[in-house]
Chains A and B, each alone.
Chain A
Amino acid sequence: MSEFATFNAHPAAPVRAESPLAASRVGVAVQSSAQGAGVCIGERALLGHLILRGKAADEGFRAGVEAALGVPLPLKLGPVARDDARGVSVQWMSPDEWLVVVPEAQDHETELRLRAALSGHYAVINVSGAQTLLELSGPAARQVLMKSAGYDFHPSAFPVGKGISTTLAKSTAVIRRTGEAQWELIIRRSFADYLYSWLLDASEEFGVFVAR
């Protein structure tokens, strides 16, 4: 293990953790309830986010990842591998890159499990502080995405389960479709306030509810 350093970022005794949206303000008129809202936006803060790099062609790598994460490694753009019961998902990002999302504070032990199961040329990078996950839902959620990104969000091109990484407004986002009208957006910390404001603004015309 001395070839690589690992780092458990979490304090032993709980201290206040702040998501990237901790100080963000809602600058648009919002609905008082989700009832009748065209769009619902909420954050799932403080999840564990890891970037996994490795060789998809390496059978040992694939087997190791599956053993460590309990879901098979997706090998191309398409469905995100998920175990919703355990809150684990693995998304193909590029031919040698995956995004692993795990529940809060499980990032470090997930990294240790991966490192224990893998050998050869691979990398695990903890980015839990670097990004956050937004949930976007409602009948107009797709239109909000269409106002924000050039990707094709139609079910024929973007079926439930699929995950991509794309340009969103003037920043970037990982976008995953989790239901007919449900989406997850994973955005970078430093751009989070900009994108959150952008999405709220784009949602306003449809009636937006902010889930807390």
Chain B
Amino acid sequence: MSQRNRLGAGGRIDRKRALRFTFNGVSYQGYAGDTLASALLANGVDVLNRSFKYARPRGVVTAGADEPNAIVQLGATEAGQVPNVRATQQALYDGLVAKSTNGWPNVDRDVMGVLGKLGGKFMPPGFYYKTFMSPASAWPKYEQYIRKAAGLGRSPVENDPDIYDHMNHHCDVLVVGAGPAGLGAALAAARSGARVILCDEQEEMGGSLLDSREEIDGKPAAEWAAAAVAELGALPDVLLLSRTTANGYHDHNFVTLHQRRTEHLADVAPLADGRRQARARMHKVRAGRVVLATGTHERPLVYARNDVPGNMVAGAVSTYIRRYAVAPGQRLVLSTTNDHAYRAALDWHDAGREVVAIVDAREAPDGELVAAARARNIRIITGSAVIEAQGKKRVTAAVVAAIDIDGFRVKGNTSELACDTIASSGGYSPVVHLAAHTGSRPVWREDLLGFVSGSVPGQIPAGGVNGRWALNDALADGFEAGARAAAETGLSASAFTLPTVAPVREGKPVALYQVPHTKPAMRAPKQFVDQQNDVTASGIELATREGFESIEHVKRYTGLGFGTDQGKLGNINGMAIAARVTQQTIPDVGTTVFRPNYTPITFGAIAGRHCNEFFDPRRYTALHAWHVERGAKFEEVGQWMRPWYFPRGSESMHEAVQRECRAVREGVGILDASTLGKIEVQGKDAREFLNRLYTNAWTKLDPGKCRYGLMCKDDGMVMDDGVTACLATNHFHMTTTTGGAAGVLDWMEMWHQTEWPDLEVYFNSTTDHWAAMTVTGPNARKLLAELVDIDMSAEAFAYMDWREAKIAGVPARIFRISFTGELSYEINVQANYAMHVWKALFDKGAKYDLTPYGTETMHVLRAEKGFIIIGQETDGSVTPEDLGMQWAVGYKKPYSWIGRRALSRPDTKREDRKQLVGLKPLDAQLVLQEGAQIVLEKEIRIPMPMVGHVTSSYFSPTLGHGFALALIKGGSQRIGQTVYLPMADGKVHAAEVVSPVFYDPQGARHHV
């Protein structure tokens, strides 16, 4: 198909590089430098979409981020699908495939359009809520169909083939927007030696300079822009980021920039030099000063049927003609309230197309651009406006009438002007969104008829966003802002000479938002305020009449300002209508709150590389490779990867665990215990510190000895436990639970630094320094005796002793402690030597069938002994007494310790607290469910008192039956009773309350 709207010359497109693309299955051609929107307009495609609610045909309205209608679904493949792409912001590339977001079976013949057409009048704001009110239970079903009919694009159902990443930056000055003000600011700051980042959301830097009619330093504005960009690009401390949207402006000048790195090349990122590259990159910028040079968005006028394709904002018409060499029609009517919009008519005329008329709301326009139009003999109709567009899928005529703005009425007769394009301009709204992200509220400027940003510390607005709209003003404001920003970061700003621009005298604009119609708004054809959300002027009137007077309520009731454009196009008009109806001023009505993100952003960019293997760090022990080779199944404990069990052949988990348990009870097993937290405590007050930290006493622990310790929080509840060894008088090796290591170290530092800074003691983590291997079972001593150089006899190396030794030639600390109830040694060697020692143990251990075991077997073995696991038997509400561990509480210690006071409260002394007991299911084969609730009666009624829950439950091959640990109210007094466990499936299990120590209660097995 030919590009019938393409101009023969001009524009910033490369006519030598033709690009093919497909829209709704039809193949078209455009040029390098086009956006998808400009290419579609060049090809004369009028209808790009169906509207959200009424399914009305819609075309391109703007040329940027404020576009409400030209929203497409991009992607040639399923995995490459991207929803909600603004065609006005999407660079054309060869092979691009896009579809309309809405419209079934297609945009030209939409089934929903019938409903929209017939039902339009009957679909006021709140239509769905009002209509589908009852029965309430049916709403999910209604919603399913309503969403199918509406919606804005869809997510891909396949995994994203692309990668995304993040990059952190620090700079003196971040400049957002590379139009005249932004380029000026960046130049002034960079020339002063500042570290500058300049970002701009468009493909090319230059902003309004790229389609300006004006000259700078006697050259076309775009040439000056190119020279400025070149100068900046040559400076080492300047980073230029085009295709990069400042999406979020957070506290302390932390700004997130979303850079689209490959979206102008393909829908899936191509390889670069054979290497993967991130499709999008989130830049996290910490800036000394932020210069906001985000410019303005032009406001369209709100007139009847202003959504028919062919209605555009005036500035967009200029942009398409001058930048993309596309005249999006043949005959133009311009409806304006200001001089600046006359550019559209001049550009249209100069492109050789017919300007039917300029309809100016003012009685006597007289600026330079007005004179230029008169000089071209363009018809100017003053004191009037376009009050209605004619046409269905394309504008066919504009209905024009003289209007009384103050009286909000049409004066006299209407007339029709045949045309195919209506450009409108109701003024310019500074783009204050980013400033508003920080919480500052925009401030109304009556002279500008727009909101400018409120003040934000460290932020300097410049140019259009600052109300400095004329080119010479915007440039000067930019240079001044850049120099000021540099100076405020401590640099001496270099003097600058402003580029020369001949000022253009513009007349005063008039305030007009909604254009009066011959009929009242409720009866007139729809006057769209927010096209993306199908919000009309009458809808806003209705909302205010129904009592939604706050603009935040109007927004949520009507949908004004939602969607991809976030009200960029419609918000001010909507506020103006609310103000008129409620007889307030616009500043009284106020704005809604703008929040990040400025434009839609892919989740990939937010996640960056923090996905899959990088989602959460995985920590490995020095022996991990051996476990992998041995076929271990792993369990994540905190971030650690711990062997869970080591299946042999086709063993199930249950079979493997039973075998591993038996090996430890009958022979010898080995566990990689390296993940246990380890903290070195050194200093003359180390012992005293331990006295205060632990519930039990440490005064009399001699070097060479170990002791189990229990730690409470200050509320008296158990927080951690572990064995601590006295290495020397003032030197201890503390162990903590695997998950508690970092928290315990913080806890110790907190108490030391805030409460007891007088104690001379230092703590340091040595968790990663030591690899720990637990050799346990009746044959443990025999095995170790073959590898160590010390006397392993019970007399020389008793239970709860530690010894220094060489094992397989490697220096080690061996702790004779037991978490299994068997004879047990925990061997600590410097982690780099761990694999050597581990393998040596297996070399010598073969004849004892040395069996590696994992965390599951560890859990079964310790539970048989009634040993607790923090976080399993405890949940932050369990005292040492509740666990039956009074023996580990030193009430007689001379100095208080953490938790002591709380443990003397009446509540912690109650006898009916939940206490740790054992449970023996009456059905010996049954393994109770962990977490199961416990009741006292077999007959279940609701409600009934629940007295506790199962904390741990396993099958014991040693005992030959299932068993559990549980916390039960007054449990220690219930030994011998039967309790009941009602299950979700209706079954009720029965179990006998027994001692939590199921195996070797005398401890004979480890005292050998």
Q: Nearest residue in A to B685 (C-beta to C-beta)?
A: A121
The reply to whether the CB of A150 lies closer than 8 angstroms to some CB of chain B is: yes
For A129, the chain B residues whose CB sits under 8 A away are 622, 768-771, 830-833
The reply to whether the CB of B276 lies closer than 8 angstroms to some CB of chain A is: yes
The reply to whether the CB of B804 lies closer than 8 angstroms to some CB of chain A is: yes
Known A123-B764, A125-B764; judge A207-B273 contact (CB<8 A).
yes
For A123, the chain B residues whose CB sits under 8 A away are 680, 682-683, 762, 764
**B274–A202 touching, CB < 8 Å:** no
Give the docked Cα–Cα distance between A128 and B766 (Å).
10
The reply to whether the CB of B816 lies closer than 8 angstroms to some CB of chain A is: no
Q: Which of A16, A143, A198 is within 8 Å of B835, CB to CB? A: A16
Q: Which of A58-66, A82-90, A174-182, A183-191 contacts B (4 or more CB under 8 A)?
A: A183-191
The reply to whether the CB of B277 lies closer than 8 angstroms to some CB of chain A is: yes
**A18–B835 touching, CB < 8 Å:** yes
Q: Which of A20, A121, A204 is within 8 Å of B760, CB to CB? A: A121
Give the docked Cα–Cα distance between A152 and B172 (Å).
12
Known A11-B809, A146-B168; judge A128-B728 contact (CB<8 A).
no
Known A9-B833, A53-B762; judge A198-B810 contact (CB<8 A).
no
**A197–B613 touching, CB < 8 Å:** yes
In this complex, the member of B767, B769, B835 whose beta carbon has the largest number of chain A beta carbons within 10 angstroms is B769
The digit string for B254-284, where 1 denotes a CB below 8 A from any CB of A, is 0000000000000000001111111000001
Output the least CB separation between B803 and chain A (Å). Answer: 12
**B769–A201 touching, CB < 8 Å:** no
Give the docked Cα–Cα distance between A121 and B730 (Å).
11
Known A17-B836, A53-B762, A129-B830; judge A3-B684 contact (CB<8 A).
yes
Known A53-B762, A125-B764, A146-B168; judge A3-B275 contact (CB<8 A).
no
Q: Nearest residue in B to A55 (C-beta to C-beta)?
A: B760
Give the docked Cα–Cα distance between A20 and B831 (Å).
8
For B771, the chain A residues whose CB sits under 8 A away are 129
**A189–B165 touching, CB < 8 Å:** no
**B276–A204 touching, CB < 8 Å:** yes
**B731–A17 touching, CB < 8 Å:** no
Known A3-B728, A7-B804, A170-B610; judge A146-B830 contact (CB<8 A).
no
Output the least CB separation between B169 and chain A (Å). Answer: 7
Interface residues on chain A, number (Cβ under 8 Å): 62
**A4–B682 touching, CB < 8 Å:** yes
The reply to whether the CB of B580 lies closer than 8 angstroms to some CB of chain A is: no
Known A5-B728, A129-B768, A198-B609; judge A146-B831 contact (CB<8 A).
no
Q: Which of A15, A20, A169 is within 8 Å of B810, CB to CB? A: A15
Q: Nearest residue in A to B829 (C-beta to C-beta)?
A: A9
Give the docked Cα–Cα distance between A15 and B286 (Å).
49
The digit string for A160-177, where 1 denotes a CB below 8 A from any CB of B, is 000000000111000000
**B768–A205 touching, CB < 8 Å:** no
**A190–B614 touching, CB < 8 Å:** no
The reply to whether the CB of B703 lies closer than 8 angstroms to some CB of chain A is: yes
Within 3-58 of A, Cβ neighbours of B (below 8 Å) are at: 3-5, 7-13, 15-20, 22-23, 29, 46, 51, 53
The reply to whether the CB of B621 lies closer than 8 angstroms to some CB of chain A is: yes
Known A22-B625, A190-B768; judge A17-B832 contact (CB<8 A).
yes
The reply to whether the CB of B813 lies closer than 8 angstroms to some CB of chain A is: yes
Q: Nearest residue in B to A187 (C-beta to C-beta)?
A: B768
For A152, the chain B residues whose CB sits under 8 A away are 170, 286
The reply to whether the CB of B568 lies closer than 8 angstroms to some CB of chain A is: no
Q: Which of B274, B616, B811 is within 8 Å of A170, CB to CB? A: B616
Output the least CB separation between B400 and chain A (Å). Answer: 57
Give the docked Cα–Cα distance between A188 and B277 (Å).
28
Within 120-170 of A, Cβ neighbours of B (below 8 Å) are at: 121-131, 143, 146-147, 149-152, 154, 156-157, 169-170
**B728–A23 touching, CB < 8 Å:** no
The reply to whether the CB of B640 lies closer than 8 angstroms to some CB of chain A is: yes
The reply to whether the CB of B806 lies closer than 8 angstroms to some CB of chain A is: yes
Known A130-B769, A147-B165; judge A11-B810 contact (CB<8 A).
yes
Q: Nearest residue in A to B272 (C-beta to C-beta)?
A: A205
**B728–A53 touching, CB < 8 Å:** no
The reply to whether the CB of B787 lies closer than 8 angstroms to some CB of chain A is: no
Q: Which of B237, B275, B766 is within 8 Å of A29, CB to CB? A: B275
Output the least CB separation between A185 and chain B (Å). Answer: 15
For B810, the chain A residues whose CB sits under 8 A away are 9, 11, 15
The reply to whether the CB of B729 lies closer than 8 angstroms to some CB of chain A is: yes
The reply to whether the CB of B974 lies closer than 8 angstroms to some CB of chain A is: no
For B640, the chain A residues whose CB sits under 8 A away are 190
Known A129-B771, A130-B767; judge A193-B620 contact (CB<8 A).
yes
The reply to whether the CB of B649 lies closer than 8 angstroms to some CB of chain A is: no
Give the docked Cα–Cα distance between A170 and B608 (Å).
12
**A154–B195 touching, CB < 8 Å:** yes
Within 274-320 of B, Cβ neighbours of A (below 8 Å) are at: 274-278, 284, 286
For B616, the chain A residues whose CB sits under 8 A away are 170
**A51–B836 touching, CB < 8 Å:** no
The reply to whether the CB of B713 lies closer than 8 angstroms to some CB of chain A is: no
**A11–B833 touching, CB < 8 Å:** yes
Known A9-B811, A170-B617; judge A204-B766 contact (CB<8 A).
no
Q: Nearest residue in B to A108 (C-beta to C-beta)?
A: B811
The reply to whether the CB of B250 lies closer than 8 angstroms to some CB of chain A is: no
For A171, the chain B residues whose CB sits under 8 A away are 617
For B729, the chain A residues whose CB sits under 8 A away are 2-3
Known A11-B806, A11-B809, A15-B808; judge A127-B730 contact (CB<8 A).
no
**A205–B617 touching, CB < 8 Å:** no
Known A3-B684, A205-B278; judge A130-B768 contact (CB<8 A).
yes
For A2, the chain B residues whose CB sits under 8 A away are 703, 728-729
**B811–A51 touching, CB < 8 Å:** no
Q: Which of B621, B680, B809 is within 8 Å of A15, CB to CB? A: B809
Give the docked Cα–Cα distance between A194 and B617 (Å).
6
For A17, the chain B residues whose CB sits under 8 A away are 832-833, 836
Known A4-B682, A125-B764; judge A193-B170 contact (CB<8 A).
no
The reply to whether the CB of B922 lies closer than 8 angstroms to some CB of chain A is: no
The reply to whether the CB of B166 lies closer than 8 angstroms to some CB of chain A is: yes
**B275–A23 touching, CB < 8 Å:** no
Give the docked Cα–Cα distance between A122 and B617 (Å).
33
The reply to whether the CB of B624 lies closer than 8 angstroms to some CB of chain A is: yes
Output the least CB separation between B757 and chain A (Å). Answer: 11
The reply to whether the CB of B39 lies closer than 8 angstroms to some CB of chain A is: no
Give the docked Cα–Cα distance between A151 and B286 (Å).
10
Known A5-B731, A51-B764, A170-B617; judge A23-B625 contact (CB<8 A).
yes
The reply to whether the CB of B235 lies closer than 8 angstroms to some CB of chain A is: no
Give the docked Cα–Cα distance between A131 and B731 (Å).
22
Q: Nearest residue in B to A144 (C-beta to C-beta)?
A: B167
Q: Which of A128, A150, A189, A198 is within 8 Å of B622, CB to CB? A: A189
Known A127-B768, A150-B168; judge A4-B730 contact (CB<8 A).
yes
For B272, the chain A residues whose CB sits under 8 A away are 205
Give the docked Cα–Cα distance between A18 and B839 (Å).
13
Q: Nearest residue in A to B728 (C-beta to C-beta)?
A: A5
For B618, the chain A residues whose CB sits under 8 A away are 193-194
Known A18-B832, A129-B771; judge A146-B169 contact (CB<8 A).
yes
Interface, chain A (partner B; CB < 8 A): 2-5, 7-13, 15-20, 22-23, 29, 46, 51, 53, 96, 121-131, 143, 146-147, 149-152, 154, 156-157, 169-171, 188-191, 193-195, 197-198, 201-202, 204-205, 207
Closest 10 CB pairs of A and B: A9-B830, A129-B831, A130-B768, A23-B625, A190-B619, A5-B727, A130-B769, A152-B170, A123-B682, A123-B762
> Could you pull out 28 A-B pairs where Cβ atoms are within 8 angstroms?
A3-B730, A5-B731, A10-B811, A15-B810, A16-B836, A18-B832, A18-B834, A20-B768, A23-B620, A46-B832, A53-B682, A121-B684, A125-B682, A127-B768, A130-B769, A147-B168, A150-B168, A152-B170, A156-B195, A169-B617, A170-B610, A170-B616, A188-B768, A189-B768, A190-B620, A194-B617, A201-B614, A207-B273
Q: A16-B836, A129-B622, A129-B831 are in contact. List 9 more A-B contacts (CB 8 A).
A: A10-B811, A15-B809, A23-B624, A125-B764, A146-B167, A189-B831, A190-B620, A190-B768, A198-B609
